[in-house]
Structure 1
Amino acid sequence: MSPSSVRLRRGVLAAVLTGTLLAPLTAGAAPAAPAAGTPTPSASGPDVRRLTPDVAHRLDASVKRVMHEADIPGVTVGVWTPGQESYVRSFGVADKATGRKMTPDLFMRIGSETKTFTVTALLQLADQGKVGLDDPIGRYVDGVPNGDEITLRQLAGMRSGLFNYSEDEDFYKALTSDPRRPFTPQQLLGYAFRHPVLFQPGEKFSYSNTNLILLGLVVEKESGQRLGDYIERHILDPAGMKDTLFPKGSEFPMPHAQGYTDQTANGKIADTADWDPSWGWAAGAMISTLDDLRIWAPTVATGRLPDGGRMVSPELQKQRLVTPRTPIPGAGYGLGIFDVQGWIGHNGSLPGYESLTIYLPATRTTVVALLDTDIDHDGQEPSTLLGEAITKIVSPRHVFDLPAAPAAR
């Protein structure tokens, strides 16, 4: 398996590999586990530092340092805590060819943050009684290996044991040979189902895009709507997220940043803005902006809409936020959402783009970072490097620290 094909599955815990977590939920309610967000023992001081001019200056310097070290062309960062000054900055360029500057208003591809929307749609259908989280996926989709045993809950919690289609070599060759080609959900599942299951349902954690393709099909079947239409009407519109979309093809609203990747057939860096994201579909195709992700961070973490209404019922939101520990210290994963040292949210990685949207409930602090590259630095995702650098300053007791991935097997 090539390192690049492994990278295509990313967008959660940076060190997740096939089968087990070495290094991006069972039947019934997921078992309670110790909270993943235990503060670093040696840390001290307040949960979140006030965004004083000095703290803002330190953030500027830290972001610039990471950009220089990791060769990141452009990034936008936002930090918000109620009752405090906000921090919104853009650095570098959105287009290396023209020198166009990165700005906070740009549309960006958000990769695996899409999973938080797909799982929210599933939870809404569960609230309506149209699906049960402990239903087997075989009730809704035919031909799934172990489909009579794998539950929707296990799919959402990355404990199904299904092979990740984006690690299939033939898929990787098909994508990189023609990155503008569209894929159907059925084609993606075909790449996955040719492989044996990795383990019995519920035995382990294994991050797999295949899980979300299946959940997307469930949402479509039980809602009677195209997945993107359902998300727009029942999630984006109620939340007031007017600049977030689930594209039908390769469309990309303007203004947007160009995206730079080395996940190409020849290994050379390419601009990916016009690549078709349908290969990610329910697992990674969506587009958003800084302001909209600022809305989404507390919405997905609390289940509450900005106007105080409910996006998801309190009961299911509580189940969503049960985040059983993974072998990565300080990191847990619930139903389409993670908890890393107390930060609730998700990250995303699609060729050319990375994102991070996280929320700290203790202080209602939101951090969003949007990047126009997915090229690793010393085996580490650039969004993770930025998340760690930012949270070391703003929340020293809750540092978003994930280890670098080991070499692919």
Structure 2
Amino acid sequence: MLDFTNASKLKKIEVNYQYDKFSWDHPGSSAQLIRDGKPKDAGMVEAPLNEIDQVIQNAFNQKVMPGAVVSVTRKGITVKEQAYGYAYRYLDDQFTEADQPILMKQDTIFDIASISKIFTTIAAMQLYEKGKFQLDDPVAKYIPEFAENGKENVTIRQLMTHTSGFEQGIELYKMRASREERLKAVLKHSLANPPGSKYTYSDLNMITLGVLVERMTGQRLDEYVKQYITDPLGMKDTMYNPDIYLQPRIAATEYQPWTGRGIVWGQVHDENAWALDGVAGHAGVFSTAHDLTILGQMFLNDGKYGKALILKPSTVKLMEQNMNQAFPGNDHGLGFDLNQGWYMDGLTDVNTIGHTGYTGTSLVISPKNKAIVILLTNRVHPTRNTESINQTRRLVARQAADAIPVAIPGNKNAWFAGYGDQKNAILQAKVNIQKPSVLSFLTWYRMEEGSDIGNVEISLDGTTWNELGFFTGASDQWQEQSYQIPEGTKFIRFRYTTDSTVNERGWYVLQPQIKTDQKNIAPEFTSTDWELRNR
């Protein structure tokens, strides 16, 4: 049995991909605007961005969606904005081809579905800044009828973090009623769980929050959002209920005979939002990749874009904090998902914010990397009963993340374990250790905590392996690691294993060498899975 007690020591090397939080000199100055540029202008590598094209093509081949627009922005520079496939292609859910299909364009307008919840939250937080409410105020303080059916203690914060106790949703569109009557049905609806006891993503939370905004302002939600969010930001292609003349620019969605609408095209896809006259706190917003990039940049600018101050920096910071520490895995800020690798993948981080939409949309904002990644698709065209969009979301985020280089000490080539689900990537060297020695190397890693693991192992015979140490989670800096190697060691290997769901940035190993009393030896490592790369 090998004894490795006290065998390792750790030294941090201050080399890493760092970021500079954008700030402005004084309140009257302009905050960073987005512009087009080349990947190198944003400190990115072009090749991974180009591979997004194949990711989308593979999704087309699997019939995940008929069309998409991808946008990647870093440091205020949009390095990729590309359209693929069709905005309108089918007449019904049998995939009957239209006589005059419409190609997707960069400025195609999408029904962004639940990404609309971000707009509702911004509206509410603007009112919070004005002192209209406190986050832990009961909703019923401002909407008295909400107190019915045991909801008197539900707070505004719980609406924003999906911890109110509401079930996922109810079928408002089946009610023969007006918008006002349907909203009253939500406000009177009972809870499925005690407030604060469980995380359940629910449209009812954000519908209620939208009502709160309307009650406090005296404006319908779409009017408020236009006046105080989209117009000041110059988001000219963002709206509720787009005019009919815009239909050729809009991505078609689902064939819905149950709502009597046929192919839904230019109207909100979500049945309940449609039943609420197209204006609701949970859905209803239409937008473009460009406009959503402006929204994302506003958050990276701490609430400001150009001359427009939408939110205070302190409010943005508050919105980006994890409010759901009691529900691990369901990290959530105010209106935002946090740290959700199932669609953020390589950009996953405790501070990464974002949201998805049922129509096939996703928005990822990474403050650490100053990056915004947007995937807009019409994956429900002509039916929602298709392959999941989540793998495509992940892979687009992964390629965007991989385009952000990891700074390697000395600009040298390091071994990189690569990406992939259910990986077992092995980097191995044959050695001949004749006296106790030390294995040393530099390493950098960002892995899914507890699920993706990097092991350092040795063997005397190539069959039985003993673990020297392991890595998981994130290092955030290059580290120098060393382990004692006993006499008789014949093989050394680095083994990287992943689960089936999330990759982050992976594992790097630089300059592995054996140190003896007399000399340093650089073993010859080989692998079919690992690669040498300079980023």
The TM-score with structure 2 as length reference comes to 0.57
Give yes or no for contact 1:243–1:289 (8 Å, CA) kept in 2: yes
1:46 and 1:264 map into 2 onto residues whose CA distance is: 51
More helix by share: 1
Contact 2:253–2:378 (8 Å) recurs in 1: yes
User: What's the RMSD between the two structures over aligned residues?
Assistant: 3.4
Confirm or deny that 1:223 pairs with 2:213: no
Aligned partners of 1:216 and 1:185: how far apart in 2? 13
SS in 1 for 2:51: helix
CA-to-aligned-CA distance 1:25-77 (integer Å, 9 cap, x gap): xxxxxxxxxxxxxxxxxxxx969996544223311111211222243111111
In proportion to residue count, which structure has more strand?
A: 2
Residue 257 (structure 1) aligns with: 250
Matched, 1:120 2:122: yes
Counterpart of 1:190 (choices 185, 203, 211) is 185
Change (3 A) 1:88 1:259: same
For normalisation by structure 1, the TM-score amounts to: 0.73
Question: Alignment partner of 2:165: what SS?
Answer: coil
Residue 388 (structure 1) aligned with residue 394 (structure 2): yes
What residue in structure 2 maps to residue 204 of structure 1? 198
> Relative contact order (alpha carbons < 8 A, sep ≥ 6): 1 or 2 greater?
1
* Residue 136 of structure 2 corresponds to residue 134 of structure 1: yes
Instruction: Return the alpha-carbon distance in structure 1 between the equivalents of residues 401 and 332 of structure 2.
Output: 21
C-alpha distance after superposition, 1:168-193 (max 9, x if no partner): 4xx46x28xxxxx9961541451674
The answer to whether the 8 Å contact 1:79/1:87 transfers is yes
Instruction: Specify which of 347, 357, 363 is matched with residue 356 of structure 2.
Output: 347
**Aligned pair in 2 of structure 1 residues 314, 81: CA closer, same or farther (>3 Å)?**
closer
Following the alignment from structure 2 to structure 1, what is the Cα–Cα distance between the partners of residues 18 and 395?
16
Match of 1:289 in 2: 288
Amino acid across the alignment from 2:354: G
Question: For the residues of structure 1 that align with 2:237 and 2:219, how far apart are their CA atoms?
Answer: 21
The one-character-per-residue Cα deviations of 1:202-240 (angstroms, maximum 9, x if unpaired) are 111111111111111111121122211111111112212
In the comparison of the two structures, how many residue pairs are matched?
341
Between Structure 1 and Structure 2, whose CA radius of gyration is higher? 2
In structure 2, the gaps of 5 or more residues are: 1-15, 20-38, 90-97, 341-347, 403-445, 449-498, 503-535
Partner of 1:271: 263
Segments of 5+ residues of structure 1 without an aligned counterpart are 1-44, 176-180, 405-409
Q: Which amino acid aligns with 1:256?
A: R
Distance in 2 (alpha carbons) for counterparts of 1:113 and 1:376:
21
Cα 1:132–1:329, aligned 2, differ >3 Å: closer, same or farther?
Answer: closer
Secondary structure of residue in 2 paired with 1:143:
helix
Percent same amino acid at aligned positions? 24
How big is each residue's C-alpha offset from its partner over 1:282-334, in whole Å with a ceiling of 9 and x where there is no partner? 11011111110110123246542212653222333222112245899765211
User: How far does residue 354 in structure 1 lie from its aligned partner after superposition?
Assistant: 2.5
Question: Where do 1:1-400 residues align within 5 Å?
Answer: 51-82=44-75, 86-96=79-89, 97=98, 98-144=100-146, 145-166=149-170, 168=171, 171=172, 174=174, 184-190=179-185, 193-194=188-189, 196-247=190-241, 253-261=246-254, 265=258, 271-275=263-267, 277-279=273-275, 281-300=280-299, 303-307=302-306, 310-324=309-323, 332-339=331-338, 340=340, 341-342=348-349, 343-349=352-358, 353-374=359-380, 375=384, 377-378=386-387, 380=388, 382=389, 384-396=390-402
